[in-house]
Amino acid sequence: MLKDKFYTVLLMAIIAILTANHLARGGGMELEGVGTKAITMGGAFIGLADDSSAIYWNPAGLARLEGARVDMGIYTMSSIGWDRNSVSNLPPSQMRPEKGDVFMKLYPSEPIRFNDESEFWPFAAVMPALTAFKSFDGYTIGGGIYPTLGIGAAWDDKIYDPKTSAAMDASYYSMIGVINFNATIAKQLSDKFSVGLGVELIYVRGMVDADKNYRNSKSPLSPDYEFRLESEMDGAGAQGIIGLHYKLTPKLKIGCVYRTGATFDLKGDTSVRQTFLIGKQELGLSEKSDHTQRFVYPASWGIGIAYEPFSSLTLTFDWQRTDWTKYLFPPSTMDFKDEGFMLRDVREDPGWVTVDKFRFGLEHRYSERLALRGGFFYENSGMPADFEGFTTTFCGYAKYANLGLGYQWDKWSVDIMGGTMWGETPYKVGHH
């Protein structure tokens, strides 16, 4: 009894520390989570954590699982995105690369914006995940491979210079993704209290590909030109995870999780070319350099509650916070080995903020074999509102609603889900 009271006091103290700061704004880049069951329940899984995806949501939940289990799943999403301001084409003095300005206006007659405001991305994300656990005498070990963060944008448009009649073709593609390799161990310290510790190797890869062609100009003072930018980078680091799980009553469970985050370097190379076609000659600049960028994988923490008002019904709620304040989105910081006229070191803080997420979920066990699930997940954005657009992506300001079911027979089970998301920023950037 004394031991249980001590664990209760310890857990409440940790919750008080976690929730002491003021509430801020929601996510922005993170995916919905790991595990079909957990995602279907809106990601409200910290307090429940009752399958192998607990290695991500709350590793302490593994300690209450018995036997062994392997889960495999695929998360896929198609999206329509829009930016009512489209992509910028600004004079050099007005460009802000850390805010997503990529294309440069070279002639005064060029429009300062492109026209395309909407894009459809079928199967924008196709993310496989593998998680597993095995229980031993007094301990449970687990592990897995899964994506936790990813954004991407693909855009192209064609407009005309009203003075020279030149066609301006532009295209842009960017991607940054994170794959996590997890190893976890958990132990049940009493009938009510368990703890879990995990380590994640984090692999990050990103790329940018931008093109702008100014063709068929009718003015000799504004010759045709081409701009081309290619950049890629990757790197790896590690973070720690600690989770706590406590059964307050037979019907009420509570959990906490903390991820340390990680800071490491991404290395790669960038090439840029600006070419003018004057008569039959091509004149211009071409530069290439290796580069290093500091990458900050954000620390995050959260608490969750799982309540069973009836034996066949479970209700869950999670609050999570992610500290994006130190995140430096490419190209906010770039160190080039060989600086040139166009490739120059960048030192800018885009001004990301700490964010909060609110998740709600339910599971109704219709029979011993069939379970019906649903969930809702709300987040704003860690990005400044004027940062979001086609060239920086726009995953924030989102609401997710999911429905699904699980079917169990013998040692096999199948979980399926479907869902939708929607949201828009004050600058009329949005997606669904």
Residue 64 makes CB contacts below 8 A (sequence gap 6+) with 50, 188, 194, 245
Domains and CATH numbers, the chain: 2-431 (2.40.160.60)
Per-residue pLDDT of the chain (432 residues; tens, 9 = 90+): 444 444 444 444 333 333 333 333 334 456 788 999 999 999 999 999 999 999 999 999 999 999 999 999 988 877 787 778 889 999 988 887 767 788 999 999 999 999 988 888 776 667 789 999 999 888 999 999 998 877 777 889 999 999 999 999 999 998 888 999 999 999 999 999 999 999 999 999 989 899 999 999 999 999 999 999 999 999 999 999 999 999 999 999 999 999 999 999 999 999 999 999 887 777 888 999 999 988 888 899 999 999 999 999 999 999 999 998 887 665 567 889 988 888 888 777 767 888 899 999 999 999 999 999 999 998 877 777 667 777 776 555 678 999 999 999 888 999 999 999 887 776 666 666
Residue 21 makes CB contacts below 8 A (sequence gap 6+) with 321, 354
Element (H, E) at 56: helix 54-57
Tell me what pLDDT residue 318 has.
97
The CB-side HSE value for 241 (13 A sphere, CA atoms) comes to 30
How far, in Å, are 15, 63, 160 from residue 28 at the CA level? 24, 32, 34
* Two structure tokens written together for 272: 């840029």
170/163 Cα distance (integer angstroms): 19
81/412 Cα distance (integer angstroms): 38
Tell me what pLDDT residue 346 has.
78
DSSP 174: E
Tell me what pLDDT residue 150 has.
73
Tell me what pLDDT residue 98 has.
66
Q: What is the DSSP string of 303-349?
A: EEEEEEEETTEEEEEEEEEEE-TT---TTSEEEESS--SS---EE--
How far, in Å, are 114, 173, 264, 292 from residue 336 at the CA level? 30, 21, 17, 7
What pTM was estimated for this model as a whole? 0.88
Tell me what pLDDT residue 239 has.
97
Tell me what pLDDT residue 3 has.
45
DSSP 110: S
The CB-side HSE value for 176 (13 A sphere, CA atoms) comes to 23
